[in-house]
Structure 1
Amino acid sequence: MLREKIQAETVTAMKAKDKERTAALRLIGAKIKDRDIELRTSDKKPEDDELVTDVLLKMAKQRRESIEMYEDGGRTELADKEKAELAVIEEFLPKQMSEDETRAAIAAIKAELGAEGMKDMGRVMGELKSRHGATLDMSKASGLVKEALS
């Protein structure tokens, strides 16, 4: 479903002669194909939308890191290009949880697991990722989990 939507958007962007959007959508398609090739030999294959969402999350994370590095280095034109790609990628991602929603989810999991200290961080993070992985920026969530467990 998500894969087909991305392909349809690529065709629409090509017809509209929107070069930047077309390039970003083709990049997404290429990354999804790369993942398909990686998984050919794998025994367990994830559901298709789950696979596409995972690829998109990784691409978004890479773009955010690149934007930060380019802005720190004073390369605003490259940062703007990455921001444009990030905007296209985020169109296909599920709505991300707010900080308050993330804190509430962490508190619920912490109470459910009986987590008390930093030794339980792995369990809490694992459960958080399995329940909310697609709607959560795990790098931000990591800091919030540390804060909740200390």
Structure 2
Amino acid sequence: MSNGLVEELKAAVKDAMRAKDKPRLQTLRTIQAELKRVEVDERIELDDARVLVILDKMTKQRRDSIKQYEEAGRDELAEVEQYEISVIQDFLPEALTEQELAAIVDKAVADSDAAGMQDMGKVMALVKPQVQGRADMGIVSKLVKEKLA
């Protein structure tokens, strides 16, 4: 685990410990544990691209939890999840604007010669590596569907 994001994470853990910021420290350790789990399970060393995929997934899981907590009227639990998202996002690249996202999708549609919905997989395969960790894949998928429809 000697890449940039993992090193950033280790430094953030030390900073949170020094600042006695328990909620942030707990979230950072959760991230580290998930990265370690993937490394051990898959017997690989994570690179930044893979770390982004994992962080993106963790963000999505928390968004899903927030929705469920809000529907159940458990706002205090939703706030915890929202806080965790804010910590995770510290390690994700800056989010893409709608215009940037649309441009990436348009280019992928053109580059893949996509003719309709049957080509959605080809388009998504081109778009995903460019937007990983920088855009909600649900929104990306919707945009691609609109372009191909």
TM-score by length of 2: 0.92
Moved more, 129-138 or 71-80: 129-138
Greater shift, 124-133 or 52-61, is seen at 124-133
Within the alignment, does 1:117 sit opposite 2:86 as a pair?
no
Query: In structure 1, how many angstroms separate the alpha carbons of the residues matched to 2:65 and 2:138?
Result: 15
Q: Which amino acid aligns with 1:106?
A: V
Q: Which residue of 2 aligns with 1:104?
A: 103
Q: Aligned letter for 1:128?
A: V
Q: Which amino acid aligns with 1:87?
A: S
Q: Does 1:28 align with 2:69?
A: no
**Identity among equivalent pairs (%):** 43
Is 1:76 aligned to 2:75, yes or no? Answer: yes
The answer to whether the 8 Å contact 1:96/1:137 transfers is: no
Tell me which amino acid in the other structure corresponds to 1:4. E
Matching residue's letter, 1:28: I
Structure 1: 5+ residue stretches without partners: none
Alignment partners' CA distance in 2, 1:123 and 1:65: 27
Q: How much does 1:136 deviate? A: 2.6
| 2:139 corresponds to | 140
Distance 1:140 1:9 in 2: 30
Contact 2:35 2:54 in 1 (8 A): yes
RMSD: 1.4
In structure 2, C-alpha distance between the alignment counterparts of 1:46 and 1:97, rounded to whole Å: 28
Displacement of 1:72 in angstroms is 1.6
CA contact (8 A) 2:66 2:78 kept: yes
TM-score relative to the length of structure 1: 0.91
Post-superposition offset of 1:77 = 0.2
Shift of 1:108: 1.1
Q: 2:39–2:45: 8 Å Cα contact kept in structure 1?
A: no
**How far apart are 1:51 and its partner, in Å?**
2.1
Q: For the residues of structure 2 that align with 1:80 and 1:130, how far apart are their CA atoms?
A: 30
**Residue 50 of structure 1: aligned partner:** 49
Maintained 8 Å contact 2:55/2:133? no
- State the distance in 2 between where 1:30 and 1:100 align: 35
The Cα of 1:47 is off from its aligned counterpart by 5.4
CA contact (8 A) 1:109 1:128 kept: yes
The alpha-carbon deviation at position 36 of structure 1 amounts to 0.7
Matched, 1:91 2:101: no
Which of 39, 42, 49 is 1:39 aligned to?
Answer: 42
* Alpha carbons 2:93, 2:134 under 8 Å: kept: yes
